[in-house]
Structure 1
Amino acid sequence: MEKIKVQDAVGAILIQDMTQIIPGIYKGPRFRKGHIVQEEDIPVLLSMGKEHIYVWDQTPGLIHENEAAERLARAVSGSGLVLDEPKEGKITLTAAHDGLLYSSEDGILALNTLEGVILATLHNHYPVKKGDKVAGTRVVPLMIDEKVILEAENNVQTFSNPILDVRPLKHLKVGIVITGSEVYKGRIQDKFGPVLRAKVESWGSVVLEQTLASDDVSLIQSSIRDQLSKGAEMILVSGGMSVDPDDVTPAAIKGLGAELITYGAPVLPGAMFLLAYLGDVPIMGLPGCVMYSKKTVFDLVAPRLLTGERLSRLDIVKLGHGGLCLECPVCTYPRCSFGK
């Protein structure tokens, strides 16, 4: 690039967008990168406070900030992302559809350790809506050595998954089993089922069936088998998750021959959470807090399962970092620290 006086710029090619600010009226690009300066542009540039401008001098090996930012954005983007037009060396990535953002912390670190390269993102597993901003790329200098961008592109190739992608939630048929003899025998009204149904439907899935079961291992198991025989692709079993003698939900799930991933999670509320798999069908044992707390471990785990991700015990253990919900009077999740 070359710095020249505005009065000498007629015929030169602008190397960057030129922003004009008229207080209270307008702020935005007055001239775009690539614009060929005309005689009539000189007074406008001077009125914008530009005594000198940078113009293109085609230095070999250097690329413009806009091109560099765009190449970075394309390199890190997997599915479910939309790239906007470059503006002053920045590219914004937005969600192409509703879903969950998957971002590689190692990949983001690998790029940001390169001199002059910037990638800023939302947290991993952040729930997003179509059109939400999820990330942005930029380079610091107006012109950057192309070798740096090539290194960034090569770094991305070393990761098995995209650095960023937005995965849609699958629309599953969900079976719900409400446990508890007090509900089964009609002594109290079931208040767990409506909460679970509302959450399931908010994620785009449907409740296949909801059944009641007393605190009896065989009856709980029979209810789960019945749900599976009807095509349930996910099973939610509510209640009976503590260590009281009458709380037999974990024993019932394990007794089915399910693969137990975890009984217990480092998340509050939701410590007495259970996750198991019967074949490919996830079964969750949900503690009572899911019924009355706005957000719990269920809200962190279920959306990931709905993307098709198969979770391990390590995945659950990692939830401890950020696993404390502050239970604010007005819930702002996911725009808070919970799950991050």
Structure 2
Amino acid sequence: MAEVVLKNIVPVAEAVGMVLPHDITEIVKDTFKGRAFKKGHVIRAEDIDHLRRLGKEHIYVLQLGPDEIHENEAALCLARALAGSGVSYSEEIVEGKVSLKAVVEGVLKVDRDALYRFNCIGEVMCATLHDNTPVKKGEQVAAARLIPLVGERQMVAEAVAIARATFPIVQVMPLPRVKVGLVITGSEVFYGRIEDRFEAVLREKLAQMGSDVSVVGFAPDDVALIAAEIRKCLDAGAELIVTSGGMSVDPDDLTRLGIKAAGAESTVYGTPVLPGAMFLVGRIGGVPILGVPACGMFHKITVLDLVLPRILLGETIDREALAALGHGGLCRNCPQCQYPVCGFGKA
């Protein structure tokens, strides 16, 4: 750690007219935490009692050596190196920290290995939301700072080099709008024995992610007819196909076979996620196809919500990608769902 060169440690009562070298934070339990005095503030006589209430008996006169860097300058250096597309930050540093925020609605992508190496330096830090978290425009996605008031310029340069070597460490990717084909399976729906509720659920999820359902097909529990409806979606120009139901081990559940009969390749069936263990992902040519089990109709959030944004971004979801979801893949089924502000899917 760089040693702060302190010329004159001045009793606070004698500090009127001095300039503060850093922000001073005030914390009132359950009420307030924030900046009480800003860096550069000229201390007035009426500030003395307030400073004492904050535990400040002395004020430092800060002088930096040529190889040292102040926390505010360091924070901006770090932010420039960390923030990729879809992320912005303010030039005004508050309490030594810089906040990185999403400038678009989308999915947060974090280079976790690079972030780990960055944080191993020790005197700099960057905290982020989880990789692959859906975020809104204006939402804070990360924060960074130099931990001491003053650090070594060389150490900050090392952190910047790590961030730039794999730039970006933090970015927000907007979801593209795609044309989606839905295939609702099940003889009970096809023959009108029950009312279908799956279509409305899937339409809403896709609309929330900015995509449009362009074609909907219905098929009974028949492999050939399921495959035919999938091919109709392809012929209609669907860029993503989602099937509903028919994914369990029941002998009447034939959707998986219908998906394969339609020409699906690289299919992966089964995930370590609850709800959503019987989920399927594959491709027909360049078009991804998802098989959503019945739990997708009853649970607000399932494995579909974890995988769908990544599929829309063009990622290939294979067995390894699904296996990684097991850690954090158990939904708590909270009475009031707060997803994505929870641990579900945060592998």
Question: TM-score scaled to structure 1, two decimals?
Answer: 0.91
Mapped pair 1:212 → 2:218: yes
In the TM superposition, what whole-angstrom CA distance separates every residue of 1:263-299 from its partner, at most 9, and x where no partner exists? 1111111111100012221100111100111111111
Gaps of 5+ in 2: none
Q: Match of 1:262, SS?
A: strand
**Structure 2 residue corresponding to 1:290, chosen from 280, 296, 307:** 296
Q: Which amino acid aligns with 1:165?
A: Q
Matches within 5 A, 1:1-340: 1-2=5-6, 3-5=8-10, 13-19=19-25, 29=35, 31-34=37-40, 37=42, 41-47=43-49, 48-49=51-52, 50-84=56-90, 85-159=92-166, 162-340=168-346
Aligned CA distance change for structure 1 residues 57 and 130 (closer, same or farther; 3 Å): same
Q: State the alpha-carbon separation in 1 of the partners of residues 133 and 307 from structure 2.
A: 12
CA displacement at 1:157 relative to structure 2: 3.1
Aligned CA distance change for structure 1 residues 101 and 256 (closer, same or farther; 3 Å): same
Q: Which amino acid aligns with 2:261?
A: G
Q: Which amino acid aligns with 2:159?
A: A
CA displacement at 1:313 relative to structure 2: 2.1
In the TM superposition, what whole-angstrom CA distance separates every residue of 1:78-133 from its partner, at most 9, and x where no partner exists? 11112122112101111112111111221221111112111111111111111111
CA displacement at 1:199 relative to structure 2: 1.0
Q: State percent identity of aligned pairs.
A: 50
Shifted more, 107-116 versus 1-10: the winner is 1-10
Q: State the alpha-carbon separation in 2 of the partners of residues 265 and 19 from structure 1.
A: 47
In the TM superposition, what whole-angstrom CA distance separates every residue of 1:219-247 from its partner, at most 9, and x where no partner exists? 11111111111111110011111122222
CA displacement at 1:140 relative to structure 2: 1.6
Q: State the alpha-carbon separation in 2 of the partners of residues 210 and 330 from structure 1.
A: 31
Q: CA contact under 8 A between 1:75 and 1:153: conserved in structure 2?
A: yes
Q: CA contact under 8 A between 2:17 and 2:44: conserved in structure 1?
A: no
Q: Which amino acid aligns with 2:310?
A: R
Q: State the alpha-carbon separation in 1 of the partners of residues 34 and 247 from structure 2.
A: 57
Q: Which amino acid aligns with 1:111?
A: F
Aligned CA distance change for structure 1 residues 292 and 148 (closer, same or farther; 3 Å): same
Q: CA contact under 8 A between 1:12 and 1:56: conserved in structure 2?
A: no
Q: Match of 1:198, SS?
A: helix
Equivalenced residue count is 335
Q: State the alpha-carbon separation in 1 of the partners of residues 190 and 121 from structure 2.
A: 61
Aligned CA distance change for structure 1 residues 149 and 241 (closer, same or farther; 3 Å): same
Question: TM-score scaled to structure 2, two decimals?
Answer: 0.89
Q: State the alpha-carbon separation in 1 of the partners of residues 32 and 161 from structure 2.
A: 41
Q: CA contact under 8 A between 2:271 and 2:323: conserved in structure 1?
A: yes
Aligned CA distance change for structure 1 residues 29 and 336 (closer, same or farther; 3 Å): closer
Aligned CA distance change for structure 1 residues 24 and 153 (closer, same or farther; 3 Å): closer
Q: Which amino acid aligns with 2:9?
A: I
Shifted more, 21-30 versus 104-113: the winner is 21-30
CA displacement at 1:308 relative to structure 2: 2.8
Q: Which amino acid aligns with 2:118?
A: L
Aligned CA distance change for structure 1 residues 246 and 145 (closer, same or farther; 3 Å): same
Q: State the alpha-carbon separation in 2 of the partners of residues 22 and 239 from structure 1.
A: 53
Shifted more, 303-312 versus 182-191: the winner is 303-312
In the TM superposition, what whole-angstrom CA distance separates every residue of 1:143-189 from its partner, at most 9, and x where no partner exists? 00011111111112332x52111111111111100011121111211
Aligned CA distance change for structure 1 residues 62 and 336 (closer, same or farther; 3 Å): same
Q: Match of 2:145, SS?
A: strand
Aligned CA distance change for structure 1 residues 250 and 23 (closer, same or farther; 3 Å): closer
Q: State the alpha-carbon separation in 1 of the partners of residues 267 and 197 from structure 2.
A: 27
Q: Which amino acid aligns with 2:247?
A: M
Q: CA contact under 8 A between 2:185 and 2:218: conserved in structure 1?
A: yes
Q: Which amino acid aligns with 2:102?
A: A
Q: Which amino acid aligns with 1:134?
A: V
